[in-house]
Structure 1
Amino acid sequence: MTTASQDHDPEPDIEELAARQQQIVTRRQLHGAGIDDMHMYRQTRRGRWQRVLPATYALVSGTLTDEQQRIAAALYVGRSAQITGLAALHWYGFRYSPKADRMRLLVPHTARRASAGHVVVCRALSLDEYARDGGLYRICSPARAVVDACRELRDLRTVRSVMAEAIQRDFTDLPTLDGEVVRAGRSRTALVRQAFREVLHGVRSSPEAELRVCLAASRELLEIVWNPRLLGPDGSRLPTPDGYLADAAIALEVDSQEFHLAPADWRRTMDRHNELSRYGVLVLHFPPSQIRREPERVRHLVEDAYRSRRGYGATCQVLVGGPSSTENDKKGPFLAPPQQPGRRSIR
């Protein structure tokens, strides 16, 4: 058994435990293996180990992985704690979530553990009952993590992107997300509520939301349906544009360069354009950069097209069946979340 007078590697029992925990162990676990504080001190001084958090060690040197950081946080705070916010979104694989330097963990309101290192302890009156098991730690459900993450953010564009991705990629649904926004109350949720209202109206990306804001300033344009379900004269399903002015049969597309780098993506866009055009729909394409830099020009272009085609939608025989549930899922109509008994919707 290792003592303060010895300077050997840890005993096999702690090595097995460390392997299961990706080389992250607590001071109590080391003591249980017979390793005293002096040995921990010497190993840390020599750079063989590192103290990640109070009473929490990594038995390796170098930069820790994200998984090791999560395990260390859970061992420090307690395995009943729940990782939430941006760190949880990173675990789920959100593409548009920024990387956070610190990791937020929910703990019961009565817990006494303090924030330290890369860990931010967030006391909550109630933990997430739908949290998922990550093995050595707990991860909040996507809806709870999205709302908590967006409350950390101060950029509306990023909040829009995160919330839209949550719905677009089926991480959660509108009623569940609505419930989490209501649960969060009025504390740091102004941007969250604005982005959720946009998603509720059919917007499925941050550039779409910016286009919606841009065109909302127009006094000429009638109602624009976002991500509509379009049907041909025979009832066949047509491609879903980002926005649609039914009175003038004008489709609005936000075309990001990110989605058109491959030839197959470009051909897919052209096929969508041609399919709508053969039914008499005018397709207007706008890159996100133009919407942000020249909103007035974008608005005037749409208004000019609308004036020249007003009333044409009645003759092209393209039917609007309602907004689609997501941008990628073109299978059915958009369903507004029902009111849940005893809960106040933010709509």
Structure 2
Amino acid sequence: MRVQALAARQQLVLTRRQLREATWTRHQVEHEIEVGRWWSPAPSVVVLHTGELNTEQRLWLGVLHAGEGAVLSHLTAAVRAGLRWSAGDVIDVMTPRGDGVAPLEGYFFHQTRRTYDRWVRPVASGPPRLPIEYAALLAAERDHNIRRALGLLVAVVQQQLSTAERFALAIPEIRKLGHGKTFKAVLGDIAGGAQSFAEIEVGRLCHAYGLLPPTRQVVRLDKQGRRRYLDCAWVLPDGRIVVLEVDGSFHAEVIAWWSDMKRERAVVIQGDTVLRCSSIELRLEPEDVMADLVRIGVPTLRRRSQAS
């Protein structure tokens, strides 16, 4: 009966040790395999049927093969928690660093000295896994494409699977997290800090790149007489006005995007030129934003002083 309950919980995937603890001898287990009722996809794991493994069984196989303390991690754990994201076919499993885990096709075993066991929470069903905040941060850390890495964190928040605040609590828990400062800054944008960030950072970057600083937080009235705030604006020598709108990650939400487009149309109708960038781009690739401002005609301080 004990084996039946365990097999039901683990989708018919058990370790040989679990079978021994349930009083199955090695000879009995080998007999079931020899007669074709069971099979062994890994040396220490037995499946109590002979068909192909489904997704749930593959997850259990990875964790049980990796041994004590193993959990689903990285993209596998994030997708398991509900994230809509292309994760490929490889299953991520995290294990404590120590004895090496034998390779298994279709699996990536992340051995670590980080004490991740305190992050793990009970799950209603399936193998143990990292909470989505830790799983997503570790997956983002491993991604060589920083834009895609940041997009992963943004997706978790936008899909309402976690919050920027919960990410902020998780970041200090992960020792030596790669890109941790960048992740924290961008998650601050998601939480609503992009407006103040734009005011401070654009002015600082203009000074660093020798551009005329913008007028901060220009106020306009829309057709209904309501006050609208633009991030940064410059009055060019020819009288044109250039506006730089800095979008926080939260602007990808449909309603916010719709409102932003309406606001941008109103500004353009008034004859101003609108450039847009994301707060992520402003943090990671400021030189491109500054170069575009120069190309549109924003004066450099040196050129302006010569003209005067």
* Structure-2-length-normalised TM-score: 0.59
> Paired residue for 1:220, among 208, 211, 227?
211
User: What SS does structure 2 have at the residue aligned with 1:64?
Assistant: coil
Distance in 2 between the 1:224 and 1:180 partners? 37
Tell me how far 1:40 sits from its aligned partner: 3.9
Distance in 2 between the 1:24 and 1:91 partners? 18
> Paired residue for 1:249, among 243, 248, 251?
243
The aligned counterpart of 2:121 is 131
The aligned counterpart of 1:307 is 298
Q: Does 2:264 match 1:276? A: yes
- CA spacing shift, 1:246–1:48, aligned 2, 3 Å: farther
Unaligned runs of 5+ in 1: 1-11, 205-211, 260-264, 288-294, 309-347
Q: Does 2:63 match 1:59? A: no
8 Å CA contact retained: 2:72, 2:94? yes
Identity %: 18
Distance in 2 between the 1:43 and 1:231 partners? 78
The aligned counterpart of 1:95 is 84
> Paired residue for 1:83, among 69, 72, 81?
72
- CA spacing shift, 1:249–1:203, aligned 2, 3 Å: farther
Length, aligned pairs only? 263
- Map 1:1-347 onto structure 2 (within 5 A): 14=3, 17-31=6-20, 36-38=25-27, 40-41=29-30, 44=33, 49-61=38-50, 63-76=52-65, 81-96=70-85, 98-99=87-88, 101-106=90-95, 114-116=100-102, 117=104, 118=107, 119-125=109-115, 127-129=117-119, 131-186=121-176, 189-201=177-189, 219-220=210-211, 222=213, 244-247=231-234, 248-251=242-245, 272-279=260-267, 280=270, 282-284=273-275, 300-305=291-296, 307=298
Distance in 1 between the 2:43 and 2:215 partners? 55
Distance in 1 between the 2:215 and 2:62 partners? 47
Distance in 1 between the 2:129 and 2:225 partners? 44
The letter of the residue matching 1:150 is A
Tell me how far 1:49 sits from its aligned partner: 3.7
Tell me how far 1:274 sits from its aligned partner: 3.5
Greater helix proportion: 2
Unaligned runs of 5+ in 2: 193-200, 235-241, 279-285, 300-308
Between the two structures, name the one with larger relative contact order (CA 8 Å, sep ≥ 6): 1
* Structure-1-length-normalised TM-score: 0.54
8 Å CA contact retained: 2:56, 2:126? no
Distance in 1 between the 2:214 and 2:262 partners? 24
- CA spacing shift, 1:81–1:62, aligned 2, 3 Å: same
Task: Please give the root-mean-square deviation of Cα atoms over the aligned residues, in Å.
Answer: 5.0
Distance in 1 between the 2:213 and 2:49 partners? 63
User: What SS does structure 1 have at the residue aligned with 2:84?
Assistant: coil
